Homo-oligomer: A and B are copies of this chain.
Amino acid sequence: MSAIDELIALLDRSRVLTDTDVVGSYVHDEAEWAPYSAPLAVVRATSTDDVQRTVRWALEHRVPLVPRGAGTGLSGGANAVAGCVVVSLEKMNSVLEVNPLERIAVVQPGVVNDDLRSTVATDGLWYPPDPASSPWSTIGGNVATNAGGVCCVKYGVTRDYVIGLEVVTGTGEIVRLGRRTAKGVAGLDLAALFVGSEGTLGIVTEVTVKLRPLPDPGRTVLGYFDSIVDAGVAVRDVAARGLTPAALEIVDRICLEAVDEMTNMGLASEANVVLIGKVDEPGEAGAAAAAEMVAAFETGGATFVAETADAEEADAMMAARRLAYPAMERKGPLLTEDIVVAKEHVPEMLRRIEQISQDVGITIASVAHAGDGNLHPLMVAGRDDDDERVRAQQAFDRIIDECLKLGGTVTGEHGVGLLKMPGAARELGPEVMAMQRAVKAALDPHGIFNPGKVF
């Protein structure tokens, strides 16, 4: 019996996909530039038991396992490696518990981010991390990359909400890491370590998250700018005024045009660069914060700025922000950056990106979680234009150079995956890389989990 036949015998036949066409839709995530190879099979796990059987089988046969959520990752972290089995958690999609008194939820890893959000909203609760992929991406994938999003500028990222995990380990055990209680310091915080570990340490089969009360709907401030650097100056001034925005997002003209093409929203006729800010302090404090934000946008040289009294208009602008990435993807393979710089350096970093675009001769579109300095310059290269691809890669590398010069990080929320391996190695240095590899080897002694990624 072949190894795969053994796996099929261990699981239900329906859970093991081997048909090349079907398997094809599981071989890579949305990082279109990252390499991938053919897997032996795809396991669609329906239970922790399925995962454990698969891990034990993989340990016996020394087969690499690549865990996968919805495949919306942007660094190639879920891309299949040669001879691997992809373990899809998409069918493990139950919300197991919502506990309003303790303000926690327990979910399977395949629960879609927006589904968790809408489920807990019925109890007046909120799961804040909101990657732009929230209609599709899963909590398990969000845990793997420590996903961020629009509201993280005020409310923090996935790690700030994950307090407990069930994991199938590198020795095939099912363990619980972390806690359910509000606090807990019993031993090393392995749950925190697993968040952002991109499937390299084990397979997460259950996630316990903290929740917050639903926030005030808040007030949205909309600013139009002639240049992205001007918008960056406004972002810096929002921080300098001591404001705590609940969102602060940049969308540039190229992205606005792409959204227009997809939706007929007609945004690009209004503005070159849009800056969307939100404050959600209740009552008078919120009104004061919105007025300060308007003033900050004016400091940046906004050509138009207004608090939108109209909730629909505010929602439409935020929807446009969320659509920027899928709209840009329609234009060709995107090479997506995910750098973070200090708030004071946001205008300068945006200026350098413009300079790189000119120098290298490649179009660079930009969206940004600007309020926390998390910039997503997007290089578009024609599908069959090798020369353009080379220049896009040059721009990508030079943006990383400049980000590191400014003391930034090469990935804020997408993860290292494959695309950011050289950048992460430069950022961390050889000693920290050695520590990372030592921890990886300690928890995955046989090297079965997502090999060739991150480290």
Question: A residues within 8 Å of B by Cβ?
Answer: 99-103, 124, 145-146, 148, 152-153, 156-157, 159-160, 169, 171, 173, 175-177, 179-190, 192-193, 195-197, 200-201, 213, 236, 239-240, 242, 244, 281-285, 340-344, 369, 372-374, 407-416, 420, 423-424, 427-429, 431-436, 438-443, 445, 454-455
Instruction: Quote the shortest CB–CB distance from A284 to chain B (angstroms).
Output: 6
User: Is the pair A187, B409 in contact by a Cβ cutoff of 8 Å?
Assistant: no
Q: Contacts A239-B101, A407-B180, A435-B169 known; A427 to B186 CB distance under 8 Å?
A: yes
Residues of B within 8 A of A187 (CB): 416, 424, 428, 432-433, 436, 454-455
Q: Return the chain B residue nearest A196 by Cβ.
A: B185
A319 to B176, CA, bound (A): 38
Instruction: Quote the shortest CB–CB distance from A123 to chain B (angstroms).
Output: 9
Of B173, B285, B440, the contact of A188 (CB 8 Å cutoff):
B440
Of B341, B343, B429, the contact of A175 (CB 8 Å cutoff):
B429
Instruction: Quote the shortest CB–CB distance from A101 to chain B (angstroms).
Output: 5
Residues of B within 8 A of A200 (CB): 188
* A145, A173, A442 pick with most chain B CB within 10 angstroms: A442
User: Is the pair A431, B173 in contact by a Cβ cutoff of 8 Å?
Assistant: yes
Q: Contacts A181-B373, A340-B184, A408-B181 known; A102 to B436 CB distance under 8 Å?
A: no
Q: Contacts A186-B428, A436-B187 known; A180 to B101 CB distance under 8 Å?
A: no
Q: List 15 A-B contacts (CB under 8 A).
A: A145-B185, A156-B160, A171-B431, A180-B342, A182-B372, A185-B412, A185-B415, A187-B428, A187-B455, A189-B195, A190-B435, A213-B244, A282-B285, A439-B442, A441-B442
A201 to B156, CA, bound (A): 26
User: Is the pair A240, B101 in contact by a Cβ cutoff of 8 Å?
Assistant: yes
Q: Contacts A213-B244, A285-B282, A285-B283 known; A416 to B190 CB distance under 8 Å?
A: no
User: Is the pair B186, A189 in contact by a Cβ cutoff of 8 Å?
Assistant: no
Residues of B within 8 A of A102 (CB): 239, 342-344
User: Is the pair B169, A431 in contact by a Cβ cutoff of 8 Å?
Assistant: yes
Q: Contacts A169-B431, A190-B432, A439-B443 known; A185 to B146 CB distance under 8 Å?
A: yes
User: Is the pair B409, A344 in contact by a Cβ cutoff of 8 Å?
Assistant: no
Instruction: Quote the shortest CB–CB distance from A336 to chain B (angstroms).
Output: 14
Instruction: Quote the shortest CB–CB distance from A333 to chain B (angstroms).
Output: 23
Instruction: Quote the shortest CB–CB distance from A159 to chain B (angstroms).
Output: 7
Instruction: Quote the shortest CB–CB distance from A299 to chain B (angstroms).
Output: 14
User: Is the pair B186, A420 in contact by a Cβ cutoff of 8 Å?
Assistant: yes
Given contacts A169-B431, A187-B432, A192-B195, 13 further A-B contacts (CB under 8 A): A101-B343, A102-B239, A103-B239, A146-B189, A182-B412, A183-B409, A185-B196, A185-B411, A187-B424, A187-B455, A192-B192, A193-B193, A213-B242
Residues of B within 8 A of A103 (CB): 239
Q: Contacts A175-B431, A192-B192, A441-B442 known; A185 to B341 CB distance under 8 Å?
A: no
Instruction: Quote the shortest CB–CB distance from A428 to chain B (angstroms).
Output: 6
A103 to B15, CA, bound (A): 49
User: Is the pair A374, B183 in contact by a Cβ cutoff of 8 Å?
Assistant: yes
Top 4 A-B pairs, shortest CB-CB distance: A182-B372, A442-B442, A184-B409, A183-B412
Instruction: Quote the shortest CB–CB distance from A182 to chain B (angstroms).
Output: 3
Instruction: Quote the shortest CB–CB distance from A161 to chain B (angstroms).
Output: 11
User: Is the pair A157, B183 in contact by a Cβ cutoff of 8 Å?
Assistant: yes
A341 to B180, CA, bound (A): 9
User: Is the pair A439, B283 in contact by a Cβ cutoff of 8 Å?
Assistant: no
Residues of B within 8 A of A373 (CB): 181-183
Residues of B within 8 A of A409 (CB): 179, 181, 183-186
User: Is the pair B435, A443 in contact by a Cβ cutoff of 8 Å?
Assistant: yes
User: Is the pair A412, B100 in contact by a Cβ cutoff of 8 Å?
Assistant: no
Residues of B within 8 A of A445 (CB): 438
User: Is the pair B285, A410 in contact by a Cβ cutoff of 8 Å?
Assistant: no
User: Is the pair A411, B188 in contact by a Cβ cutoff of 8 Å?
Assistant: no
Instruction: Quote the shortest CB–CB distance from A370 to chain B (angstroms).
Output: 11
Q: Contacts A186-B427, A431-B173 known; A344 to B101 CB distance under 8 Å?
A: yes
Residues of B within 8 A of A407 (CB): 180-181
Residues of B within 8 A of A439 (CB): 188, 190, 193, 439, 442-443
